[in-house]
Structure 1
Amino acid sequence: MQTSKDLIALLTLKELGDHSFSGDSYTIGSPHVFGGQVLAQSVHAAYRTIPENRFLHSLHGYFLEAGNLTIPIHYKVEEMRNGGSFSTRRVTAKQQDQTIFILAASFHKKEEGFEHQVNFDTTIKQPEELLSWDDMFVKFGNFLPKPMKEFLSVDRPITFKPVRVPNLLESKNMPPNEQVWFRLKGEKQALDYRTKQEILTYISDYNILNAAFNPNAATHNFGNTQTASLDHSMWFFRDFDFDDWMLFSAESPNAYGARGLAKGNIFTRDGKLIASFAQEGLLRPKK
């Protein structure tokens, strides 16, 4: 999977009838199904039951079991409410009768209202100044630990450029935050808002737990810690395009009891806030 076209094909589900759908999986370097994929495919399934004049404004999902990459995922959509302004859907994702994920999503018709947003950090390094994951693999591949090398070697439809690149040969604690520029690979496409939201949902599960890891990076890493997404929430605000770089900005207010919490915002390059997110993940030191 190398381009946005490939990603859209992955997220487009086969209809089975009676608000049921089926989708396949693609690895991001993990032995299990990527959480962002299940999130985005669930959003796609819900959208297939929503009127054209309503758009996703919030989602809340729980990851219940690790997904098997070799087994299709079946999505069942339940219509919880169709009101004058909002529609609510519940999506259940299953593999061989085992529920692996549940999603609640709310859709809102477009309305006019007042507006404000948080400030955008204009002093942040620009993507042209930074190395991408692909650049790091080429430049440092021979010096990387095997798990990280295998992770970076996977073809992805997104280019990621972290603002702060840790010293891979020296482990040390860092501030509880993570900022990453990202951009879709492949030719520019005219995408509708629904498709852009599905793609952004997929991307939102990347990088997020790094913010919770960073304060303990001197002793813990993804090699000696069991990790998993436990829940994930998003709120969508403004339409946007994938024509330029966008910024994923996360911070972690807490890690305790083998769980870490991260939250943050997604901005366009010119500072427009398009979405916010929050996730709690399992951070269990391996014995």
Structure 2
Amino acid sequence: MDSVSEQSQTPEQLVADLVFLLDLEPKGGDRFIGRRRPDGTGRVFGGQAIAQALGAARRTVDADREAHSLHAYFLRPGSDDLPIEYRVKRDLDGRSFSNRRVVASQEGKPILNLTASFQRPVDGPGHQFGEMPDVPGPEDLPPDADIRQEVARHVPEGKIRQLLLRPSPIDFRSVEPRDWLAPEKRAPKAHVWFRTVAPLPAEDAVHRAVLAYTSDFQILATALHPHGKGIHTGEVKGASLDHAVWFHAPFSADDWLLFVTDSPWSGGARGFARGQVFRRDGTLVASVTQEGMLRHV
């Protein structure tokens, strides 16, 4: 990372920093080191660990195979003060599929386990059941960053205000923006457009890593909509427990994608949420699920 503060960074710098963050340092023997985010708020963002683990697995498979699914379990909170070590196990290399297990650790303690499967492209029967929801386009919606900055005016100095004001390499535009300070009760469903704020490198693996990174934003919050509560209001403590992504079709993470989330259930201090990611032409490109802890403070 360069020494320029994020507040003054250009969109191109923000995206370059994201690509750098999700890249890995090879240490030999299928062992990699994931870089830390120097402007973090203390705990490693789950999407960062998922994307880095996916990148570590990708480095050990043939170049003609791309990830089609990943399944991750969060074991312990990670610290932004430390790099993350990723160790990869090569469980399968078949004619069409490769499977990898990844353990992410800090100071010798595992913080995340991830299994990823990769496939060589082949033809087969295909269909898509259901259409992309008819919602306003991103050009008709204000950036979430503008809404967060307005909310930050009413938040005292601290981690929450820092989080609200921190520039993001992802441009989110919510169809139904929530009030961060006083969320209202509503149906457990949400729609948000997203893309990187500047172009990404052309490699498919980079775009899949960015989607994996972004898929951990906002999805669990959908389970709190019917209760009129929010993690950032101090009423509920939340943490991801497990996360899965299936990649279905080609996409570009620097072009607009619609993330549609819903939550069919919550209870027992846990919430379950699902997501679908669509290209603007209506093609379903990825599916996401997550279960997380939602505990009253």
- TM-score, normalized by the shorter chain, greater than 0.5: yes
- Give the alignment partner of residue 257 of structure 1, picking from 268, 277, 284: 268
8 Å contact kept, 1:25–1:37: no
Deviation at 1:154, TM superposition (A): 1.1
8 Å contact kept, 1:144–1:168: no
Q: Does residue 78 of structure 2 align to residue 73 of structure 1?
A: no
Q: Deviations over 1:98-154 (max 9, x none)?
A: 011000111111010121113334520111221222211333432357664332211
Structure 1, gaps ≥5 residues long: none
- Give the alignment partner of residue 26 of structure 1, picking from 37, 41, 44: 37
Deviation at 1:84, TM superposition (A): 1.4
One-letter amino acid of the structure 1 residue matched with residue 282 of structure 2: G
- Give the alignment partner of residue 196 of structure 2, picking from 177, 184, 188: 184
How do 1:156-195 residues align onto structure 2 when only pairs under 5 Å count?
Answer: 156-167=168-179, 170-186=182-198, 188-195=199-206
8 Å contact kept, 1:32–1:67: yes
Q: Once structures 1 and 2 are overlaid, which stretch shifts more, 189-198 or 42-51?
A: 189-198
Q: Does residue 297 of structure 2 align to residue 283 of structure 1?
A: no
Gap change, CA 1:276 and 1:145, over 3 Å in 2: farther
Q: Which residue of 2 aligns with 1:272?
A: 283
- Paired with 1:38 and 1:169, the residues of 2 have a C-alpha distance of 28
Deviation at 1:83, TM superposition (A): 1.1
Q: Does residue 157 of structure 2 align to residue 153 of structure 1?
A: no
- Paired with 2:111 and 2:133, the residues of 1 have a C-alpha distance of 40
One-letter amino acid of the structure 2 residue matched with residue 198 of structure 1: A
Q: Deviations over 1:149-200 (max 9, x none)?
A: 33221121111111101245654211101211111012x2441111111111
Partner secondary structure for residue 88 of structure 1: strand
How do 1:205-284 residues align onto structure 2 when only pairs under 5 Å count?
Answer: 205-217=216-228, 219-222=229-232, 223-284=234-295
Q: Deviations over 1:10-50 (max 9, x none)?
A: 11110110000001222776420000000000010001100
Partner secondary structure for residue 93 of structure 1: strand
Q: Does residue 243 of structure 2 align to residue 202 of structure 1?
A: no
8 Å contact kept, 2:221–2:230: no
Q: Deviations over 1:219-278 (max 9, x none)?
A: 554322111100000100111123421111110010000000001211111211110010
8 Å contact kept, 2:87–2:103: yes
- Paired with 1:124 and 1:35, the residues of 2 have a C-alpha distance of 28
Structure 2, gaps ≥5 residues long: 1-5, 7-12
One-letter amino acid of the structure 2 residue matched with residue 272 of structure 1: T
| CA RMSD, 1 decimal | 1.8
Partner secondary structure for residue 78 of structure 1: strand
One-letter amino acid of the structure 1 residue matched with residue 53 of structure 2: S
One-letter amino acid of the structure 1 residue matched with residue 16 of structure 2: K
Gap change, CA 1:62 and 1:262, over 3 Å in 2: same
Q: Does residue 111 of structure 2 align to residue 114 of structure 1?
A: no
- Paired with 2:224 and 2:40, the residues of 1 have a C-alpha distance of 19
Q: Does residue 75 of structure 2 align to residue 49 of structure 1?
A: no
Q: Does residue 75 of structure 2 align to residue 64 of structure 1?
A: yes
8 Å contact kept, 1:247–1:266: yes
One-letter amino acid of the structure 2 residue matched with residue 281 of structure 1: G
- Give the alignment partner of residue 97 of structure 1, picking from 96, 108, 112: 108
Identity %: 38
Partner secondary structure for residue 112 of structure 1: coil
- Paired with 2:188 and 2:40, the residues of 1 have a C-alpha distance of 24
Q: Once structures 1 and 2 are overlaid, which stretch shifts more, 16-25 or 117-126?
A: 117-126
Partner secondary structure for residue 135 of structure 1: helix
Q: Deviations over 1:202-235 (max 9, x none)?
A: 1110111111011111x55432211110000010
- Give the alignment partner of residue 5 of structure 1, picking from 11, 16, 23: 16
8 Å contact kept, 2:93–2:99: yes
